[in-house]
Amino acid sequence: MANKSNIFLIGPMGAGKTTVGKRLADTRGMEFVDSDQEIEARTGVDIAYIFEKEGEAGFRKRERGIIAELTGRQNIVLATGGGAVLEAENRQALSARGFVVYLHASVEQQLARTARTENRPLLQNAVDRREVLDQLFAFRDPLYREIADLLLQTDGRNARVLARDIEDHLERPASAI
Ligand SMILES: Nc1ncnc2c1ncn2[C@@H]1O[C@H](COP(=O)(O)OP(=O)(O)O)[C@@H](O)[C@H]1O
Ligand SMILES: O=C(O)C1=C[C@@H](OP(=O)(O)O)[C@@H](O)[C@H](O)C1
Ligand SMILES: [Mg+2]
């Protein structure tokens, strides 16, 4: 049965999943978990190091394991990584086991918010970050939409306002969501 006590945040790098998720969990008194931070805590190394040693495929395998586990919990706010929706298994678990919020951001906004990034290997190694973000977004946007229960535009809107928007949607009767 669907467990909608969980809130799962999806969307591209720089959409604010980690930032908004933490804030939302604080105000709702829920546990906050970030799949990337969880992988780092368990392996003792950062995401960039995992990409370097195991390639993207190695990272996706770890991400799949962690999402399968975390989506089985209750009453958590989970911030996923931007590529979590690539795996059908992840999409299935996310949509079945929680309320899925797609934090949408234009590529322009993604670029601005990831400008000082130090632990996003897909961007760090890129010659042209805009092109990489463009391509990722074109491929992934339909996947985010496929499982989203709610889509929020984040351009020009701060994390506090976005967390409150999510709260407002959750307070509404189910038929209005
Ligand atoms: N709504 C927002 N408005 C302005 N800056 C934001 C917003 N959300 C996140 N940020 C900033 O953008 C950067 C990336 O945010 P982060 O939460 O790590 O995104 P994600 O987890 O989706 O990749 C951080 O520096 C964060 O402070
Ligand atoms: O878009 C992606 O494929 C990735 C996004 C990152 O998470 P954020 O979306 O939180 O930056 C992180 O999981 C990894 O660098 C790969
Ligand atoms: Mg994040």
- Per-domain residue ranges for the chain? 7-176
Mean pLDDT across 147-167: 97
Q: Which two tokens stand for residue 52?
A: 């370097």
17 lines ligand 2 (CB under 6 A): yes
pTM (two decimals): 0.96
Nearest atom in ligand 2 to the alpha carbon of residue 12 is 9
Per-residue pLDDT band for 2 (boundaries 50, 70, 90) equals very low
Query: What's residue 3's pLDDT?
Result: 46
Q: Is the pLDDT of residue 173 over 90?
A: no
10 Å Cβ neighbour count for 126? Answer: 13
Mean pLDDT across 13-42: 98
Kindly report the protein residue whose alpha carbon is nearest to atom 3 of ligand 1.
158
Weakest-pLDDT range from 13-17, 67-71, 96-100, 169-173: 169-173
Q: Which two tokens stand for residue 116?
A: 């000082």
pLDDT per position as a tens digit, 90-149: 999 999 999 999 999 999 999 999 998 788 999 998 999 999 999 999 999 999 999 999
Half-sphere exposure of 50 (CA within 13 A, CB side): 21
Q: How far apart are CA 39 and CA 17, in angstroms?
A: 16
Query: What's residue 171's pLDDT?
Result: 87
Kindly report the protein residue whose alpha carbon is nearest to atom 7 of ligand 2.
81
- Chain centroid to Cα 148, Å, comes to 12
Half-sphere exposure of 80 (CA within 13 A, CB side): 35
- Exposed e or buried b per residue across 156-170, where buried means at least 16 C-beta atoms within 10 angstroms of its C-beta: ebebeebbebbeeee
Among residues of the chain, what percentage have pLDDT more than 70? 95
Query: What's residue 119's pLDDT?
Result: 86
Query: What's residue 172's pLDDT?
Result: 81
Name the CATH superfamily housing domain 7-176. Answer: P-loop containing nucleotide triphosphate hydrolases (3.40.50.300)
Q: Is the pLDDT of residue 53 over 70?
A: yes
Work out the mean pLDDT of the chain and round it to a whole number. 95
Mean pLDDT across 24-37: 97
Residue 120 is labelled as binding a ligand: yes
Q: Which two tokens stand for residue 161?
A: 């306002």
What is the ipTM for the molecules in this complex? 0.99
